[in-house]
């Protein structure tokens, strides 16, 4: 039997919470599981307030108290949760639930509290792109296709992996390329997110491996259809490339962060390490914002820091 969620609230506030939960179910069409999660977050907040004798000497939170809360009271809740070693993502979710309840109270003309509108969530830790080292990347690209029984499939796999790394493409972009996109010599036309097109230069090794694949492919590859085909002649499924990456990763004893998308991250990180400017990398990757590309500088700095620490300069340990 599911445990009842208890709120440190007086009767009027409890009734408001019940109505809010019903509204989430009926009007917002949230699942029972989601509504319960929201309610548990709110229950934590009411428990925190009820434990504050300076705010709630009677131990029961009321609508009147919620109306009088200051921004420092909300920040105090954030501080208490942080002190309890809660992840920033967890605290951000809890605050989202609390904001939702206060917005509902405002719409019902039950509580108006302007402090909620200026409440900001704690900044989440940045998730850096997971690039792979140059040696590991080349090992993966060069070994691609070795397990295939048919020569054309081996050449196809090599071409796909060389393209992912050599041009920094997303897997969806690589598998959407048509022969018509190759008609400008050593320049590849790529359709990225939102249908945006960009032009990416191709290295001779990329061109050569695509040509080798096309010459060996037993199917006729139409100009305006997918360049890379599966065993039955249809468009190559991205899951096949993902599974191949997993097998290569295990067979070559590569890190767990080696994925098809990691080749795109590696492309950008390795270019940066060689001195390519950020604006050029932004254009090659098709990023709308330079700030997205700037994440790779943090990857490179992080890598340099590890190498610096490992060098043990000045007798460091």
pLDDT in tens, 100-116: 999 999 999 999 999 98
Class of domain 134-311: mainly alpha
**Best CA proximity match to 66, nearest among 7, 5, 21:** 7
Strand-pair partners of 282 = none
Position 307 scores a pLDDT of 40
Residue 219 has pLDDT above 70, yes or no: yes
For residue 144, count CB atoms less than 10 angstroms from its CB and return exposed for 0-12, middle for 13-18, buried for 19 or more.
Answer: buried
**Catalytic residue list contains 261:** yes
**Catalytic residue list contains 193:** yes
Contact, 175 vs 235, CB < 8 A?
yes
pLDDT in tens, 25-74: 999 888 888 999 999 999 999 999 999 988 899 899 999 999 999 999 99
Given 21, 261, 265, 270, the catalytic residue: 261
**Catalytic residue list contains 68:** no
Q: How confident is the model at residue 297 (pLDDT cuts 50, 70, 90)?
A: low
**Catalytic residue list contains 93:** no
What is the rounded CA–CA span in Å between residue 215 and residue 152? 8
Given 40, 70, 193, 235, the catalytic residue: 193
Q: How confident is the model at residue 290 (pLDDT cuts 50, 70, 90)?
A: low
- Return the DSSP state at 28: S
Position 316 scores a pLDDT of 45
What is the rounded CA–CA span in Å between residue 258 and residue 94? 33
Residue 305 has pLDDT above 80, yes or no: no
Q: How is the chain split into domains, by residue range?
A: 11-118, 134-311
- Return the DSSP state at 223: T
The residue with greater pLDDT, 111 or 120, is: 111
Task: Give the number of other CB atoms < 10 A from CB of residue 185.
Answer: 9
What is the rounded CA–CA span in Å between residue 261 and residue 272? 17
Given 21, 170, 265, 270, the catalytic residue: 170
The rounded mean pLDDT for the chain is 85
Same fold, 11-118 and 134-311: no
pLDDT in tens, 145-158: 888 889 999 999 99
**Catalytic residue list contains 296:** yes
Class of domain 11-118: mainly alpha
pLDDT in tens, 252-263: 888 777 888 888
Residue 131 has pLDDT above 80, yes or no: no
pTM reported for the whole predicted model: 0.55
User: Mean pLDDT, to the nearest integer, of 78-106?
Assistant: 89
**Catalytic residue list contains 72:** no
User: Mean pLDDT, to the nearest integer, of 68-93?
Assistant: 88
């Amino acid at each position: 039997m599911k445990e009842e969620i208890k709120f440190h609230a007086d009767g009027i506030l409890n009734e408001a919470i019940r109505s809010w939960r019903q509204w989430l179910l009926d009007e917002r069409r949230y699942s029972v599981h989601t509504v319960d999660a929201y309610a548990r977050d709110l229950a934590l907040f009411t428990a925190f307030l009820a434990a504050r004798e300076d705010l709630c000497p009677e131990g029961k939170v009321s609508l009147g108290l919620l109306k009088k809360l200051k921004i420092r009271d909300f920040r105090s809740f954030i501080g208490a949760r942080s002190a309890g070693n809660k992840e920033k993502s967890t605290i951000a979710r809890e605050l989202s639930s609390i904001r939702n309840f206060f917005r509902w109270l405002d719409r019902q003309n039950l509580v108006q509290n302007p402090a909620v509108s200026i409440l900001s969530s704690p900044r989440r830790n940045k998730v850096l792109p997971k690039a792979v080292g140059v040696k590991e990347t080349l090992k993966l690209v060069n070994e691609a296709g070795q397990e295939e029984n048919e020569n054309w499939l081996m050449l196809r796999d090599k071409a796909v992996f060389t393209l992912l790394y050599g041009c920094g493409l997303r897997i969806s972009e690589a598998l959407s390329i048509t022969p018509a996109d190759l008609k400008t010599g050593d320049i590849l036309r790529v359709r990225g997110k939102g249908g945006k097109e960009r032009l990416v230069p191709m290295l001779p090794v990329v061109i050569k491996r695509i040509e080798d694949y096309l010459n060996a492919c037993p199917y006729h590859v139409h100009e305006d259809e997918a360049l890379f085909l599966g065993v039955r002649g249809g468009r190559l499924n991205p899951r096949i490339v993902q599974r191949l990456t997993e097998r290569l990763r295990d067979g070559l004893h590569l890190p767990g962060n080696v994925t098809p998308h990691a080749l795109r991250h590696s492309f950008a990180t390795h270019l940066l390490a060689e001195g390519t400017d950020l604006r050029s990398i932004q254009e090659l990757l098709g990023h709308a914002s330079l700030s997205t590309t700037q994440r790779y500088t943090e990857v490179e700095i992080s890598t340099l820091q590890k190498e610096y620490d490992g060098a043990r300069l000045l007798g460091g340990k």
